[in-house]
Amino acid sequence: MSRTIHHFVHGQSQPGRSGNTADVLNPSTGKVQAVVDLATTEEVNEVIADAAAAQRGWAATSPQKRIRVLMKWIQLINENIDEIARTLSLEHGKTFEDAKGDVIRGLDVVEFALGAPHALKGEYSDSVATGVDVYSMRQPLGVVAGITPFNFPAMIPLWKAGPALAAGNAFILKPSERDPSVPVRLAELFIQAGGPAGVFNVVHGDKTAVDALLDSDVVRAIGFVGSTPIAKYIYERCAATGKRAQCFGGAKNHMLILPDADLDQAADALLGAAYGSAGERCMAISVAVPVGQETADKLREKMIERIGTLKVGHSLDPEADYGPLVAQSALDRVRDYIAQGEAAGADLVIDGRTQGATDDTFDGEDLSGGYFIGPTLFDHVTTDMSIYTDEIFGPVLTIVRADTFEEALALPNEHQYGNGVSIFTNNGAAAREFANRVQVGMVGINVPIPVPIAYHTFGGWKASGFGDLNQHGPDSFRFYTKTKTVTSRWPVGKATGAEFTMPVIG
C-alpha cells in the first residue's frame, strides 16, 4: 500500500479531511509510490487563519533572532541534503546530482536572506523642517503564499520562503502535487530549526486550493511560477483582490552562436542547457541560433556527435545524463510537438521518440513504464512553427539559422517570451551590444543558463513575467514588505492656531 503525504500545518503533519487525493508517481517506472491529500477551500481557510495568528509573534521577533532560525534551517537542510535530493529525484525524475543542485540553489537565496537585519532598515531624515523629522519603516505584509511548480520542488519554495520568513511574514506553500514530499520535509526542518508552529505551512491541492488562496482577504501576496496562462490568471485575480503578485510564466530561451565563437565550447554548453533535466527547466535553451550557414553546419555536426553519447536513464543512475519526464501527460505532449515539427517541414535530425531509457532495468526495477524520451534535434526551423513559438518543456532543441547578427537578435526580441537568452562569442563589442539591445530579462554571455546569483534578481520579461518585482535579490525584501513613512514633530511652546494651507517645507 502506498504512503500518504499529508499537509503540514502548525508544525505537524495534518491529514486531509476531504478524502480527495492525487497519485505521486515514480517517473522512472511509471508506478504509484504515494498519494497526496488535496485540500478543500475550508481546509485552506483554516490554514490561513492559523498562519495569521502565528505571524504576529513572528513579526514581533527581532530580525536578528529570525535569521538565527534560518541559519539553523540552512544547517539542517545541508545535513539532510542527500536524503532530500534522493526523494526529489524519485518524485521528479531529475538525476540525483541535478536534484542536489536544485536544493543548493535554493539555499543560496536563504543565505542571502540572512542579511534581513540590514535589508529591512528604513531611512531617516533629521530636521526636514524646524523640529520635524521623517523616517520610514519596512514592515512585513502578514500572511503570504507561494504557488510553486513541479520542476524545482526545493529551489523555488526556498526562493520564496527564505526572504518572506526573514522579513517577518507567515508563509503558506502550495507546491505541485506531482512531487510534494520535499516541500513538506523543508517545513519539518524549519520547525526543527526552532521556527514557530504556524509560520511555515504546506497545503497540497489543485485549483480549488489555489483559488482559496487567491480569494482570501488575509493573504496579502502571491508568488507563482508555472505556465504563462496560469501566471496571467493568478496575476489578474490578485489585482482584482488587491494582492501583490509576482507571477512567472513560460519561456523560449535562445542561444546565439556567432561565427567567431569557440564552437566546441558552444556545443558543450548547448548540450547541457538543452537536455539537462530532460528540458524541464524554465531556463533551458531550446533554440540555437547560429549566425551564418557555415557556423550552422559546423554546429549541427558537433551537436549530432555529442547527442549520440547521451545516456537516458533512471533518476538515480549515476551514469545517466538525464532522467524521465515527470508524467505520461508530459511525455505525450513532447511527442506531439515533435510530430508537429515534422509535419510542418522542419528537418528532424534526431528523433527522440525512437529512444526510451538506454537500459531496460536499473537496480532491479523495470524501466519500460517510465516516461523516457531521447534527445531530439531539429534544423531549419522557421518562426511560424509551433516547435519555435511554444514552450515544449522537454529535451527538444531547434536550430533556427540566421544570416546576420541583426537577424539573430530579432528572434528573441520578437518572441512572445523573454525569460533568458545567451550569446557565445569572442567579440566583446558584439556581446556588449547584444546585452544592451536584447529584450529579455536575463542574459548570459558565454554562459548558457544565465540564472543570476542570489543577490541579484531573477525574472523574465514579456509573457514570461507579470509583476514589477522579481524573485530573490533586493526585490525579494521589497516584495515581502510594505513601507511606512512617519513624519514626526514634538512641539515646543504654545499652540499657534490652525493652518489651512498646504504645508510647505523650506
Q: Are 23 and 191 in contact (CB under 8 A)?
A: no
From CA 89, how far away is CA 77, in angstroms rounded?
16
pLDDT at 506: 63
**Which domains does the chain show, CATH number per domain?**
3-249+464-486 (3.40.605.10), 253-445 (3.40.309.10)
For residue 16 the three cell numbers come to 486531509
Question: Quick one: 444 exposed, middle or buried, by C-beta within 10 A (0-12, 13-18, 19+)?
Answer: buried
Measured between alpha carbons, how far is 269 from 424 in angstroms, rounded to an integer? 10
Which amino acid, one-letter code, is at 4? T
Query: pLDDT by residue (tens digit) across 140-190?
Result: 999 999 999 999 999 999 999 999 999 999 999 999 999 999 999 999 999
Q: Which residues contact 160 (CB under 8 A, 6 or more apart)?
A: 146, 148, 171, 173, 223, 471
Query: Which pLDDT score, from 0 to 100, does residue 493 have?
Result: 82
What's the whole-number mean pLDDT along residues 197-216? 98
Residues 8-20: tens digit of each pLDDT: 999 999 999 989 9
Does residue 4 have a pLDDT over 70?
yes
Mean pLDDT of 282-300: 98
Identify the helix (H) or strand (E) that includes residue 139.
Answer: strand 132-140
Q: What is the mean pLDDT of the chain?
A: 97
Phi, psi dihedral angles at 414 (to 5 degrees) = -95, -5
CA distances from 469 to 23, 115, 160, 233, 458 (A): 35, 19, 13, 18, 9
Helical axes 207-215 vs 228-241, angle rounded to 10°: 30
Return the H-helix or E-strand segment holding 479: helix 474-479
Cβ–Cβ < 8 Å for 175, 183: yes
Which one-letter DSSP state was computed for residue 210? H
Q: Assess contact for 39 and 209: CB atoms under 8 A.
A: yes
Q: Is 247 a catalytic residue?
A: no
Q: Residues 396-454: pLDDT tens digits?
A: 999 999 999 999 999 999 999 999 999 999 999 999 999 999 999 999 999 999 999 99
* Grid cell locating 43: 481546509
pLDDT of residue 503: 80
Q: Residues with Cβ < 8 Å from 51, sequence gap 6 or more?
A: 143, 170, 171, 172, 198, 199, 201, 218
What is the residue-wise DSSP string for 282-326? TT-EEEEEEBSHHHHHHHHHHHHHHHTT--B--TT-TT-SB---S
Phi and psi at residue 437, to the nearest 5°? -100, -20
In tens, the pLDDT along 22-43 reads 999 999 999 999 999 999 999 9
Q: Is 123 exposed, middle or buried (0-12, 13-18, 19+ CB in 10 A)?
A: exposed
8 Å CB contact between 221 and 477: no
pLDDT tens-digit series, residues 60-108: 999 999 999 999 999 999 999 999 999 999 999 999 999 999 999 999 9
C-alpha span between 70 and 196 (Å, rounded): 12
Nearest alpha carbon to residue 457 among 438, 468, 470: 470
Q: Convert the pLDDT of each residue in 484-506 to its tens digit.
A: 999 999 988 888 888 888 888 76
What pLDDT, on a 0 to 100 scale, did the predictor assign at position 499?
A: 84
Cβ-Cβ contacts under 8 Å for 370 (sequence gap 6 or more) = 27, 28, 29, 30, 314, 324, 356, 357
The Cα–Cα gap between 489 and 132 comes to 5
- Which residues neighbour 189 within 8 Å (Cβ) at sequence distance 6 or greater? 73, 76, 77, 80
Q: What number of other Cβ atoms are within 10 A of residue 419's Cβ?
A: 28
Catalytic residue among 107, 165, 173, 282: 282
